[in-house]
């Protein structure tokens, strides 16, 4: 058995046989043309563009039918690249001036365009580079007279797992068919369009597996664990059984006829709310199905993904917020204002090229610097709240009381500017994210001036421990059980309690069963996690005694180091948690083999 590590981008587990696609670089024909052939080459290019437009239109329609309108928008981005006047003009100019054939001219024009993207560090731009390459490949294929990939009739076996260097969003749609159980790619990231589609279409997938097409042979037996980002090659029977049990357990845990807000109480009767973190309105259906206690975090910056390259308009914001608030059927919905910058998406109008973007002009800092962007979002949010008292507004990355006061004052001003019929009454609660250590230390003062606090452990750990959350080389140091992190969480909980202000938590820590128990032990009763793990987190918490969790966490914290704290908590709870959640999901992520 070999275990390959990558990025798990959709939560399912698949088992099957590998179909390895080793896509060679397309040989782009390059030849010089005579003056009499210039018009012919331009016509060939324009003809190919027209054909590609039809193909993308058909894919858009297919995406709309299978995944929903929001995902179909990905192909609008492809259409926009195809119709980009700069790209078309440059290709034609190269044919005309350099006297080269259409394929060669197109390659050169695309490389020039990509060079402007490649110099930017932000993953958003890098991903858009991937979209340009996808469109480029399509145009070259049409020029070569080949059939589209999605029409390729590979003689597929049942339970095929596709292993490829990269897969484009168009490929991801092609992969959405009964014989394909999952896929593995060498390239790609969590924010790529391919990852987003895999998640929406519920295809188990692991991306970013280095040299996957060399290390996996065609026909080899594979398990793709989209949960943990692992590919198990040639698993022995014991491992296959462990994964089969895990799949069954996940299926059984998911309530078939769920509904919103299925209650969960710990053994000693403490009510714990388990809400969902979402990025797209389509996920609300999953939230309802798994019995989420509303939406604990909607990351509004994902809206940029579907409107890029333009900024979302007030109406774009409004339509999405209304849709989420309506779909949540009265359950509380926390919409977080834009957290652009840092490692997150950002748009070309927002400035780039910072030396240290994670500590730079990110989130609320960017919103205060660019009030027109913040105002557009806030107007839409507060207008959407009319008739929807379930909205709560959350502001990310607050690092001082002055900053919080500036936000409150700005929000007050925007609300004043709204016509009276579009001003909600009462105003939605306005909450402050606690994800910078300074904010956790200032929590007693912030709690007096905020309507609620929400801890974001992903960033709180990053900033407390000086560990870049996006850097794999230091991922083992990103430890939510570190005593300094637990202390900041506890201080925030106490500050909220003393000021009678609700405190919730929406970092990934709540999606880890032992993390969730620890948080309950620290006094939290309001968690928000990935919707797909809600059934197991709920099952685990229903089996825990909150008093026992508090005693265990207090004892463990005396132990000293993060790993020792986790170990103590494991010793107390792991056997019971294992019975509920299964072994596979509990294995430490780094370097460990799954059981078997």
Q: Which residues bind Mg ion (CB under 5 A)?
A: 435, 456, 459
271: its two tokens:
């009510």
With CB under 6 A as the rule, give the number of residues binding ligand PEP: 10
Which of 337, 457, 511, 518 binds ligand PEP (CB under 6 A)? It is: 457
Is 432 a catalytic site residue? Answer: no
Is 367 a catalytic site residue? Answer: no
For residue 339, state whether it binds ligand PEP (rule: CB under 6 A). Answer: yes
Which of the choices ligand PEP, Mg ion, none does residue 166 contact, using the CB cut-off of 5 to 8 A by kind?
none
- Region binding ligand PEP by CB under 6 A among candidate stretches 153-161, 455-463, 516-524, 571-579: 455-463
Helix axes of 123-144 and 38-67: crossing angle, nearest 10 degrees: 120
Contact partners, residue 160, CB within 8 Å, separation at least 6: 16, 17, 19, 179, 180, 181
In our burial notation (b when 16+ CB lie closer than 10 A, e otherwise), range 566-581 reads bebbbebbbeebeebb
| CA nearest to 470, candidates 373, 362, 348 | 362
**Do residues 195 and 189 lie in contact, with contact meaning Cβ atoms separated by under 8 Å?**
yes
Q: Give me the least distance between CB of 25 and ligand PEP, in Å please.
A: 36
- Region binding ligand PEP by CB under 6 A among candidate stretches 64-72, 379-387, 451-459, 560-568: 451-459
| CA nearest to 195, candidates 174, 226, 216, 223 | 226
Contact partners, residue 581, CB within 8 Å, separation at least 6: 249, 513, 536, 539, 540
For residue 526, state whether it binds ligand PEP (rule: CB under 6 A). Answer: no
With CB atoms as reference, the residue minimizing the distance to ligand PEP is 456
DSSP state for residue 388 in the 8-state scheme: -
The helix (run of H) or strand (run of E) holding residue 127 is helix 123-144
The three-state (H, E, C) secondary structure of 441-498, written as one string: HCHHHHHHHCCEEEECHHHHHHHHHCCCCCCHHHHHHCCCCCHHHHHHHHHHHHHHHH
Q: Give me the least distance between CB of 280 and Mg ion, in Å please.
A: 18
For residue 490, state whether it binds ligand PEP (rule: CB under 6 A). Answer: no
For residue 15, state whether it binds ligand PEP (rule: CB under 6 A). Answer: no
The helix (run of H) or strand (run of E) holding residue 245 is helix 237-253
**Do residues 544 and 537 lie in contact, with contact meaning Cβ atoms separated by under 8 Å?**
no
Could you give the CA distance from residue 509 to residue 481 in angstroms, rounded to a whole number?
9
Which of the choices Mg ion, ligand PEP, none does residue 507 contact, using the CB cut-off of 5 to 8 A by kind?
ligand PEP
Nearer to Mg ion, 208 or 456 (CB): 456
Q: Give me the least distance between CB of 295 and ligand PEP, in Å please.
A: 13
**Do residues 545 and 272 lie in contact, with contact meaning Cβ atoms separated by under 8 Å?**
no
- Region binding ligand PEP by CB under 6 A among candidate stretches 141-149, 169-177, 365-373, 453-461: 453-461
**Do residues 336 and 374 lie in contact, with contact meaning Cβ atoms separated by under 8 Å?**
no
- Which among 78, 136, 193, 317 is annotated as catalytic? 193
Nearer to ligand PEP, 507 or 515 (CB): 507
Which of the choices Mg ion, ligand PEP, none does residue 324 contact, using the CB cut-off of 5 to 8 A by kind?
none
With CB atoms as reference, the residue minimizing the distance to Mg ion is 459
387: its two tokens:
């008739």
For residue 307, state whether it binds ligand PEP (rule: CB under 6 A). Answer: no
For residue 253, state whether it binds ligand PEP (rule: CB under 6 A). Answer: no
Which of 332, 507, 523, 562 binds ligand PEP (CB under 6 A)? It is: 507
Residue with tokens 């939560």: 11
Q: Give me the least distance between CB of 323 and ligand PEP, in Å please.
A: 20
For residue 506, state whether it binds ligand PEP (rule: CB under 6 A). Answer: yes
Binding-site string for ligand PEP from residue 266 to residue 305, where x marks contact by CB under 6 A and - marks none: -------------------------------x-x------
Could you give the CA distance from residue 584 to residue 596 in angstroms, rounded to a whole number?
10
Q: What is the dihedral of CA 568, 574, 577, 583, to 10 degrees?
A: 140
Could you give the CA distance from residue 523 to residue 504 in angstroms, rounded to a whole number?
10
- Which among 287, 367, 432, 506 is annotated as catalytic? 506
Query: Which of helix, strand or coil describes residue 390?
Result: coil
For residue 512, state whether it binds ligand PEP (rule: CB under 6 A). Answer: no
Nearer to ligand PEP, 299 or 379 (CB): 299
Which of 456, 535, 582, 594 binds ligand PEP (CB under 6 A)? It is: 456
Query: Which of helix, strand or coil describes residue 273?
Result: strand
Nearer to Mg ion, 332 or 456 (CB): 456
| CA nearest to 323, candidates 339, 306, 308 | 306
Residue with tokens 């188990």: 204
- Region binding ligand PEP by CB under 6 A among candidate stretches 262-270, 349-357, 457-465, 519-527: 457-465
Q: Give me the least distance between CB of 435 and Mg ion, in Å please.
A: 5
Q: Give me the least distance between CB of 398 and Mg ion, in Å please.
A: 11
**Do residues 511 and 571 lie in contact, with contact meaning Cβ atoms separated by under 8 Å?**
no
Nearer to ligand PEP, 170 or 511 (CB): 511
**Do residues 339 and 374 lie in contact, with contact meaning Cβ atoms separated by under 8 Å?**
no
Nearer to ligand PEP, 78 or 336 (CB): 336
Q: Give me the least distance between CB of 396 and Mg ion, in Å please.
A: 6
Q: Give me the least distance between CB of 491 and ligand PEP, in Å please.
A: 17
Q: Give me the least distance between CB of 240 and Mg ion, in Å please.
A: 38
Query: Which of helix, strand or coil describes residue 3?
Result: strand
Where on the chain is the footprint of ligand PEP (CB under 6 A)? 297, 299, 339, 435, 456-459, 506-507
Q: Active-site positions?
A: 193, 506
């Amino acid at each position: 058995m070999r275990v390959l590590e990558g990025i798990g981008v959709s939560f399912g587990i698949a088992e099957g046989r590998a179909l390895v696609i080793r896509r060679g670089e397309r040989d782009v024909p390059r030849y010089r043309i005579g003056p009499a052939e210039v018009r012919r080459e331009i016509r060939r290019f324009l003809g190919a563009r027209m054909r590609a437009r039809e193909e993308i239109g058909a894919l858009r329609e297919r995406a709309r039918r299978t995944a929903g309108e929001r995902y179909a928008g990905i192909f609008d981005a492809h259409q926009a690249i195809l119709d980009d006047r700069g790209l078309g003009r440059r290709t034609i100019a190269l044919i005309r001036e350099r006297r080269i054939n259409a394929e060669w001219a197109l390659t050169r024009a695309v490389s020039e365009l990509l060079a402007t993207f490649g110099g930017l560090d932000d993953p958003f731009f890098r991903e858009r580079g991937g979209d340009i390459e996808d469109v480029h490949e399509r145009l070259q294929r049409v020029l070569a007279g080949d059939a589209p990939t999605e029409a390729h009739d590979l003689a597929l076996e049942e339970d095929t797992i596709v292993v490829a260097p990269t897969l484009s969003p168009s490929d991801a749609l092609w992969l959405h068919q009964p014989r394909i159980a999952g896929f593995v790619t060498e390239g790609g990231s969590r924010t790529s369009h391919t990852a987003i589609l895999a998640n929406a279409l519920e295809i188990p997938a692991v991306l970013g597996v280095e040299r996957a097409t060399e290390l996996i042979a065609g026909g080899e037996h594979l398990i793709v664990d989209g949960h943990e980002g692992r590919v198990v090659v040639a698993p022995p029977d014991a491992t296959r059984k462990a994964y089969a049990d895990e799949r069954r357990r996940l299926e059984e845990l998911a309530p078939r006829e769920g509904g919103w807000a299925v209650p969960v109480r710990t053994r000693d009767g403490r009510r714990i709310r388990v809400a969902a973190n979402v990025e797209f309105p389509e996920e609300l259906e999953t939230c309802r199905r798994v019995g989420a206690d509303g939406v604990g975090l909607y990351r509004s910056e994902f809206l940029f993904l579907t409107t890029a390259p333009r900024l979302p308009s007030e109406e774009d914001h409004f339509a999405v917020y209304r849709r989420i608030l309506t779909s949540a059927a009265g359950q509380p919905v926390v919409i977080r204002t834009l957290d652009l910058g840092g490692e997150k998406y950002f748009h070309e109008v927002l400035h780039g090229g910072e030396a240290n973007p994670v500590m730079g002009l990110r989130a609320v800092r960017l919103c205060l610097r660019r009030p027109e962007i913040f105002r557009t979002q806030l107007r839409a949010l507060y207008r959407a709240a009319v008739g929807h008292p379930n909205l709560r507004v959350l502001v990310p990355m607050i690092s001082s009381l002055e900053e919080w006061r500036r936000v409150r004052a700005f929000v007050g001003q925007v609300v004043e500017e709204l016509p009276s019929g579009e001003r909600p009454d009462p105003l939605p609660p306005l909450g402050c994210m606690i994800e910078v250590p300074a904010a956790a230390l200032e929590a007693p003062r912030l709690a007096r001036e905020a309507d609620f606090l929400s801890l974001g452990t992903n960033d709180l750990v990053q900033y407390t421990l000086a560990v870049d959350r996006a850097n794999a080389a230091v991922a083992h140091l990103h430890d939510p059980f570190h005593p300094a992190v637990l202390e900041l969480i506890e201080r925030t909980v106490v500050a909220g309690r003393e000021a009678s202000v609700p405190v919730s938590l929406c970092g990934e820590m709540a999606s880890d069963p032992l993390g969730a128990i620890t948080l309950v032990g620290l006094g939290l009763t309001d968690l928000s996690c990935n919707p797909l793990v809600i059934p197991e987190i709920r099952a685990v918490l229903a089996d825990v005694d909150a008093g026992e969790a508090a005693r265990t966490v207090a004892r463990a914290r005396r132990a000293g180091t993060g790993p020792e704290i986790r170990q103590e908590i494991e010793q107390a709870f792991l056997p019971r948690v294992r019975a509920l959640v299964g072994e596979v999901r509990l294995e430490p992520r780094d370097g460990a083999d799954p059981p078997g």
